[in-house]
Amino acid sequence: MRRPPDGRPRIAMDQTGSDMSETNPRRDPKQVRLSRRSFVTQVVRGGAVLALGGGALGLVAGKSARRRTGDVRYVWQIDPWRCTQCGQCATECVLDVSAVKCVHDFTLCGYCKLCTGFFPPYADIDQLDTAAEKQLCPTGAITRKDVDMPYYEYTIDESKCIGCSRCVKGCTQYGNGALYLQVRHDRCLNCNECSIAAACPSDAFILRPADDPYILKGKGRARI
Ligand code: SF4
Ligand code: SF4
Ligand code: SF4
């Protein structure tokens, strides 16, 4: 795995400044709004839970699993290793714009000139055209910036992302898998029966403890 060209150790899941770690105050006003640092700590821990495998997850997986066990609350999340990028996260959410968004784990990113999450896989590496119609993203949510030739940084404007998974599919099939989907808990209504979970063909929707709601793919793998 390549390091970022500027040597900065980064774990950035949100490129817009909105805090991904915020729990939804509409659901539980007592929950503490977490700092970005504590979010990273949480998702790293989440990766470790994932790495432990079936035991812990098996207790909470299922499309209509109990939402509370004792004092523990659960929220919906996507297991990025199960997701097959079918596209239904964009269309099945009860919200007008899905609560599912693409996130970018810079610890996995190769900063590629020909990013297969940004360009179609048939793009000519010597004639890369960044015109909107030549990009994979249908909403122009991904920005490409030259950071240090031949490296490029790709950032996601979450406000434009509809969770369609096109970029995730390209990055997963031909790249490092640095782009993946997560349910954003500052948006998700945490429906008792999540309609995306019901439609998901790969059982990628799981329930996680509300105080540990995200899965950081890179760090999770590193702990295995
Ligand atoms: S519905 Fe399931 S498989 Fe399809 S994009 Fe969403 S999480 Fe991935
Ligand atoms: S391709 Fe789809 S999932 Fe990826 S950033 Fe664009 S809208 Fe979001
Ligand atoms: S729980 Fe409801 S709001 Fe959240 S992702 Fe599923 S359908 Fe959308």
Q: Which of 183, 216, 221 lies closest to 44, judged by CA?
A: 216
Convert the pLDDT of each residue in 180-198 to its tens digit. 999 999 999 999 999 999 9
Kindly give the number of the ligand 1 atom that is closest to the alpha carbon of 199. 1
Stretch 89-101: mean pLDDT: 98
Distance 197 CA to ligand 1 centre (A): 8
pLDDT band of residue 69 (cuts 50, 70, 90) is low
pLDDT band of residue 148 (cuts 50, 70, 90) is confident
Distance 71 CA to ligand 2 centre (A): 36
Pocket of ligand 1 (CB under 6 A): 78, 83-89, 165, 181, 196, 199-202, 204
Distance 21 CA to ligand 2 centre (A): 20
Contacts by residues 57-65 (CB-CB < 8 Å, ≥ 24 positions apart): 57/206, 60/206, 60/207, 60/208, 60/209, 61/203, 61/206, 61/207, 62/207, 63/193, 63/194, 63/197, 63/198, 63/203, 63/205, 64/192, 64/193, 65/207
Does any ligand 2 atom lie closer than 6 A to the CB of residue 162? yes
The residue whose CA has the least distance to atom 8 of ligand 2 is 161
The residue whose CA has the least distance to atom 1 of ligand 2 is 137
Does any ligand 2 atom lie closer than 6 A to the CB of residue 156? yes
Stretch 190-212: mean pLDDT: 96
**For the chain, what is the largest distance between any 2 Cα atoms, rounded to a whole number of angstroms?**
58
| Domain range summary for the chain, segments of one domain joined by + | 36-222
The beta strands (E) that lie in the chain are given as 68-69, 72-78, 100-104, 142-148, 151-156, 179-183, 205-209
Task: Show the tokens assigned to 224.
Answer: 């295995």
Instruction: Please tell me the distance from the alpha carbon of residue 199 to that of residue 169, in angstroms, as a whole number.
Output: 18
Does any ligand 2 atom lie closer than 6 A to the CB of residue 220? no
User: Does the pLDDT at position 161 exceed 90?
Assistant: yes
Stretch 121-143: mean pLDDT: 91
Kindly report whether the global pTM for this prediction surpasses the value 0.85: no
